[in-house]
Amino acid sequence: MTGQKPYFLTTAIDYVNNLPHIGTAYEKICADVLARFKRLEGGPVFFLMGNDEHSVNVKKEALARGLHPQAYCDRMAIQFREIWTKLGISCDCFIRTTDDCHAKAVTALFREIHRKGDIYLSRYSGLYCDSCEAFFREKELVEGKCPLHGTEPRRIEEDNYFFALSRYADRIEEHIRKGRILVLPEIRRNEILNIIRGGLEDISISRSSFDWGIPLPIEPNHVVYVWFDALINYISAAGYGWDQDRFNRTWPADLHIVGKDITRFHCIIWPAMLMSAGLEIPRLVFGHGFVYLKGEKMSKTLGNVVSPMELMNLFGPDALRYYLLRDTSFGKDGNFTYENFQERYNRDLANDLGNLLQRLVTMVHRYRQGILPPPHEETEADESLRKSCLGLYPAVRDFLNPLRGDIDFHLALTRIWDTIRLANQYIDHLAPWELFKQGDQDRLNTVIYYAAECLRMLGVVLSPFLPHTASALLRQLGEQEGPENLCLEALTQWGRLPAGSRVSTPIPLFPRIVESEGKPSASAPPTRSEDEPAAIEKTVSFEMFQSLELRAGRILDAERVPKTQKLLKLTVDTGQLRTLVAGIGKSYEPEDLKGRDVVVVTNLEPVRIRGILSEGMVLAAGSDDRVVLLGYAGPVEPGEKIR
């Protein structure tokens, strides 16, 4: 960490009684966008995440598997980190509440609060929900059950240490009202103020009937209550209790990002604990909305969990990031539906962004041998594209600035997509293929250069949102990956792409998803192409026919695609190995296909079918229920061209 105070950004630390789901992933993705955007702007950032390991449910899960809780937490930590890495989450520190530094911080803070006289022993009797890890008052229950989990809370009666939260009620209210601790969005701020005005009670912060936790420094037979323990992660990662210099440089947190269900812990209990110990309070708490599965809250306890890992394996991490960021307003609740996911993927990612890059790279190859030409005089159309690109940074910066009262990832992406669509229209209207035919070299050079430079700026501005896509895009434009190309200047200066640089061969960023049974999806592929005739004709020209690449292929392996009768996944040697999904499952058994020679269309645009990338098509006669594969009368070698 450098000498300058970093922008200190945190997410909630997750319970590890289950793996991440779409809801917990959503929070981490949003925080990651902010961290990446801040880094892009050039400031130092400290982005903290972690796991919350000392909970009743974590211990239960461990014991159910015959594991010591520590061994169980170690295993889960590996899996959590693997998922976050795959999702492109760029945290600078991943804290676990079983880390030594955390135990030191908890012990130090506990002692300090105790020294201030804010901790006392008393007998406690209350209703406790294990899933919330929280006490409820009788009146907060719904028909005697936890309002979130629908389960009956347990009555707990034991000697507990208490934290004198009530002493801080007035000061916390004043801090929130005066904006010394900003609570966003507005609806959460009002909720919190209402809770405080309803009266705050002291809270129990130790357990004697439970042994999985950090022992109380003043009474080793008690362990620290999981929430008191968990909140302290934010200062333990910053160095509290083990590295005072680091702590002085890092604290306070600039932004705690947490879900709406736990905002109250962060805006009431946490500031009170810090105030008691004489530490600075966090500057901003954002309580985001929930992602539901068609209206029902996703929860580890309820079990209706969509696995981010599964979706990532099928469609790539950025498709998931894009969908969650674009389809939900951060402060409000959102709904996950597979239909919307697929529609956004095909329309926004495959057709708009993917197609724009594909068109540009193809043009550079077709008209300029893969070398980016220099631009000439700027016309009005060029100017409006350039201005739209230069407007990206200020617009996105504002949408991501919480001091406006909200953080609007979906609006930032909408603004970016305005430029993507404008760039596609720019190509449609200026028709480079016509300029090529007319021999208007200067205009053609300008249009190609402007579209390429626009894509470069799009790559940079997209890098916080879709980091993998941004890298792939910039690489195809011939840009080196490095801080010199991912920085504020790269986002605010037009014309940085050097003329004369070589673009790579086109690789589709987002192969379109087609419906599971092989039918085209609801969103049609873009029909525009720089050299396609405007209308589909009944006959095709010889050139068009020649552009189709047919090769001899040998099936090396075949298996059924789960949950369909019709689809088979084939591994085919066509001179190079490729995977194809073919709708021949009702007529062929996989084991009968191995070693069979087939005719393959090898230059068909790849598509995703049931999450499998299908790179071509085997030719067959007949209809769905009776399909006959085309074959050969004599021997052929895999890869031979068919003429």
Query: Judged by CB under 6 A, which stretch of 145-153, 176-184, 277-285, 291-299 contacts ligand MSP?
Result: 291-299
Among 409, 390, 513, 515, smallest CA distance to 453 is for 390
Report whether 171 contacts 391 (CB < 8 A): no
Report whether 23 contacts 298 (CB < 8 A): yes
Report whether 378 contacts 446 (CB < 8 A): yes
13 lies in the site for ligand MSP, by CB under 6 A: yes
CB 63, min distance to ligand MSP, A: 19
Q: Give phi and psi for 395, each to the nearest 5.
A: -70, -50
291 lies in the site for ligand MSP, by CB under 6 A: yes
Residues in the chain: 643
**Pick from 7, 15, 168, 367: which binds ligand MSP (CB under 6 A)?**
15
**Pick from 6, 23, 271, 402: which binds ligand MSP (CB under 6 A)?**
23
Region 216-235 residues binding ligand MSP, contact defined as CB under 6 A: 230-231, 233
452 lies in the site for ligand MSP, by CB under 6 A: no
290 lies in the site for ligand MSP, by CB under 6 A: yes
- The residue among 285 and 568 lying less far from ligand MSP, judged by its C-beta, is 285
> Which pair of tokens denotes residue 133?
């890890």
Pairwise CA distance, residues 233 & 271, whole Å: 14
76 lies in the site for ligand MSP, by CB under 6 A: no
Pairwise CA distance, residues 511 & 549, whole Å: 19
331 lies in the site for ligand MSP, by CB under 6 A: no
Query: Judged by CB under 6 A, which stretch of 24-32, 105-113, 246-254, 578-586 contacts ligand MSP?
Result: 24-32
Q: Which residue sits closest to ligand MSP, CB atoms considered?
A: 259
12 lies in the site for ligand MSP, by CB under 6 A: yes
Pairwise CA distance, residues 46 & 204, whole Å: 31
Among 335, 83, 365, 203, smallest CA distance to 326 is for 335
CB 14, min distance to ligand MSP, A: 4
CB 407, min distance to ligand MSP, A: 14
**Pick from 8, 9, 14, 567: which binds ligand MSP (CB under 6 A)?**
14
CB 181, min distance to ligand MSP, A: 16
CB 23, min distance to ligand MSP, A: 2
- The residue among 13 and 412 lying less far from ligand MSP, judged by its C-beta, is 13
Sheet holding 568-573, edge to edge: 577-582, 568-573, 550-560, 597-601, 617-618
Query: Judged by CB under 6 A, which stretch of 11-19, 37-45, 143-151, 413-421 contacts ligand MSP?
Result: 11-19
- The residue among 77 and 503 lying less far from ligand MSP, judged by its C-beta, is 77
Alpha carbon distances (Å) from 585 to 8, 94, 626: 54, 47, 10
- The residue among 21 and 359 lying less far from ligand MSP, judged by its C-beta, is 21
Region 293-322 residues binding ligand MSP, contact defined as CB under 6 A: 297-298
CB 56, min distance to ligand MSP, A: 12
Alpha carbon distances (Å) from 115 to 112, 220, 278, 285, 439: 5, 17, 11, 28, 84
- The residue among 221 and 304 lying less far from ligand MSP, judged by its C-beta, is 304
Pairwise CA distance, residues 39 & 462, whole Å: 13
> Which pair of tokens denotes residue 589?
């058994």
- Pairing of the two strands 512-514 and 334-336: unpaired
Alpha carbon distances (Å) from 315 to 291, 319, 471, 512: 19, 6, 17, 10
**Pick from 8, 35, 40, 52: which binds ligand MSP (CB under 6 A)?**
52
- The residue among 19 and 613 lying less far from ligand MSP, judged by its C-beta, is 19
27 lies in the site for ligand MSP, by CB under 6 A: yes
516: how many CB neighbours lie within 10 A of its CB?
A: 16
Pairwise CA distance, residues 427 & 360, whole Å: 9
CB 259, min distance to ligand MSP, A: 2
Pairwise CA distance, residues 315 & 243, whole Å: 43
Report whether 289 contacts 258 (CB < 8 A): no
Pairwise CA distance, residues 46 & 254, whole Å: 10
CB 333, min distance to ligand MSP, A: 8
- The residue among 52 and 382 lying less far from ligand MSP, judged by its C-beta, is 52
Query: Judged by CB under 6 A, which stretch of 12-20, 33-41, 186-194, 478-486 contacts ligand MSP?
Result: 12-20
Which amino acid makes up residue 404? R
Region 254-273 residues binding ligand MSP, contact defined as CB under 6 A: 258-259, 261-262
CB 232, min distance to ligand MSP, A: 8
- Pairing of the two strands 626-629 and 612-614: unpaired
Pairwise CA distance, residues 24 & 20, whole Å: 6
Residues in contact with ligand MSP by the rule CB under 6 A: 12-15, 23-24, 26-27, 52, 230-231, 233, 258-259, 261-262, 290-291, 297-298
